[in-house]
Chains A and B, each alone.
Chain A
């Protein structure tokens, strides 16, 4: 790849939403550092409400950050409309629900050509649309031009959405739960498409998901998010086969075919408007509850001392007092 350094990088990113009716403000993204290299697929996993969707949107400039910065290809992102428009030609969003993300009154052709029209494409629009549809696996593309979204199956709709993103020849794709609302047999096909785009076009991707199997299927690197912050990051093999953070361990243990006794965390994920002091996971942490953290001598730190923000680069890191104590001893 020609550009040295990461394609996209977030530094100390914060997104805070004001609380309604006097409620405290919600820190949806609370200090995140994340790099995505050229041609790299990064999976961002976490439960709903952990801030992963907000993070993805703020990386695309759809939600302005309240602190920190996002830079793309080495340049910090500017938030004026001209700069954002130029950025949005290079970074594309694919949403979860393909039925909702296509305007029911637009044909497939119009939906795919939309990006070209917004950016004033000078070349052969029809050829570009046909090319994008073919690359997204809708062949022959001409047969789909005049179809309406409701005439397509879920998998085909998601392919149209992906084609609409591809037509601008972006460098980065941000996909928010790209297969969550698709049928099981179609899911693999869409994931294979994302992988093929990476090999054929060198596309980088950030895939936001709660599905760890998806990360195993396609991602190079995984970042586990909990309550606005990344708590564990590293290569997929590292994180998913030898998880170090108790939260990651718990997430993996409840998967149906996981070995060992499942660790079912009690309660719902806590509220981003009331982030606990100390380690943000300590209230639900099974390691702290079982007394193992006490044995390792970190129980006080867990309750009182917040952990620093993990660096965004590739190497494996974990934000957990207990896991670190285990490594050093």
Chain B
């Protein structure tokens, strides 16, 4: 059943930056959706918009249906309930998201006390359970954030996100700045929790390889729009959109002779959301741009069964380019 349905979401910041420009997503419970993209592509804004965490004065349009109810039309009280019990976020940078002067156990228990209406003893018991679920000894509840390593702090963040049994977990770069080994541990943990608890997971990252490994479906965002969408493996291994191709080529497969002494990237920089290029926003950096791309905007279209991409080369006639 559909847990989350996003329809034509637009977000414009007060300074005029169009961070999200018409995004459609849908997610079933128990499934995992990866959102890939670089800084400034609107992926973090999207995450914040889902829980209405954007700063005041930001214009949000479209619909965000969580379990059939539009988050954007809810009253504040309902939004507050949704924020913990319906959906929760694991932010990047676990050090900054934890309060340094409180014990981590108290920080995990806080939402339980606030939203669950449980007593102190019940909350403490639940905190212990949560810590065990994320692979930390119950005794670590008495530790302060600075006493934990980066990986342990990220586990605490995940425990906090799970505190009120949400149906949807949004993980925003959950493994950035962590070592490969710790990253692997955290990803395994997230996968395991999702499959055990039938959660819906939206994972946001710039690392296509990680997303392809963890998620079922993948959406690649560029300049506030989804430019490619499809089954994770297929998108990673054979992207339809040139940007998707570039992203999957950025992290080489070890042992692949083609990438030896040949790092692949894209010339140019990600576009400024308050000053987007005309036409297809990707055209200034696109290796296969045509003359028309400068003026003609592109929308997602079917490129292959179950796969969509927003590129002039994608479609019935030009299928051969991939």
Contacts and interface: CB of A to CB of B under 8 A. Distances in A.
A188 B246 CA distance: 9
Nearest to B255: A241
Contact of B252 (A48, A183, A216, A266): A216
Contacts of A155: 269
B265 A191 contact: yes
B238 interface: no
A127 interface: no
Contacts of B151: 268
B254 A213 contact: yes
A210 B210 contact: no
Nearest to A156: B269
Given A189-B266, A256-B209, A216 B184 contact: no
User: Closest 4 CB pairs between A and B?
Assistant: A188-B265, A191-B263, A254-B184, A256-B213
Contacts of B181: 47, 250-251, 254, 264-265, 269
A241 B254 contact: yes
The A interface, classified by DSSP as helix, strand, loop or mixed, is helix
Nearest to B184: A254
B267 interface: yes
Nearest to A186: B265
A240 interface: yes
A217 B262 contact: yes
B2 interface: no
B180 A210 contact: yes
A195 B264 CA distance: 12
A304 interface: no
Given A184-B207, A184-B251, A241-B254, A189 B183 contact: no
Given A48-B179, A183-B206, A153 B269 contact: yes
Contacts of B256: 216
Interface of B: 38-39, 149-152, 179-185, 188, 206-210, 212-214, 243, 246-247, 249-256, 259-267, 269-270, 285
Contacts of A264: 181, 184-185, 188
A212 interface: yes
Given A184-B38, A189-B263, A217-B252, 17 more contacts: A154-B269, A185-B246, A185-B270, A186-B38, A186-B266, A191-B263, A192-B263, A210-B179, A210-B180, A211-B180, A236-B260, A240-B255, A257-B213, A262-B184, A264-B181, A268-B152, A269-B181
A303 interface: no
A146 interface: no
Given A47-B180, A191-B263, A241-B255, A186 B208 contact: no
Nearest to A189: B265
Interface string A256-281: 11100010111011000000000000
B261 A195 contact: yes
Interface residues of A, number: 42
Contacts, number: 124
Contacts of A190: 265
A240 B261 CA distance: 14
Given A210-B179, A257-B209, A186 B255 contact: no
B261 A217 contact: yes
19 contacts: A47-B182, A183-B206, A184-B38, A185-B250, A185-B266, A186-B38, A186-B270, A187-B263, A216-B256, A217-B262, A236-B260, A241-B254, A251-B180, A255-B254, A256-B214, A264-B181, A268-B149, A268-B152, A268-B182
A218 interface: yes
B250 A184 contact: yes
A216 B180 contact: no
A242 to B, nearest CB: 10
Contacts of A288: none
A47 to B, nearest CB: 4
A186 B269 contact: yes
A76 B304 CA distance: 63
A216 B81 CA distance: 48
A161 to B, nearest CB: 16
B260 to A, nearest CB: 7
Given A153-B269, A265-B181, A252 B254 contact: yes
A48 B262 CA distance: 26
Contact of A188 (B209, B250, B254): B250
A136 to B, nearest CB: 14
A217 B180 contact: no
Nearest to B181: A265
Contacts of A212: 180, 254
A112 B256 CA distance: 37
A191 B210 CA distance: 21
Q: Which of A156, A218, A257 has the most CB of B within 10 A?
A: A257
A217 B38 contact: no
B270 A240 contact: no
A216 B265 contact: no
B246 A213 contact: no
A216 B270 contact: no
A254 B252 CA distance: 14
B184 A257 contact: no
Contacts of B150: 48
Interface string A36-51: 0000000000011000
A202 to B, nearest CB: 16
A269 B180 CA distance: 12
A153 to B, nearest CB: 4
A216 B214 CA distance: 23
A216 B185 CA distance: 23
Q: Which of A156, A241, A250, A254 has the most CB of B within 10 A?
A: A254
Q: Which of B181, B208, B209 has the most CB of A within 10 A?
A: B181
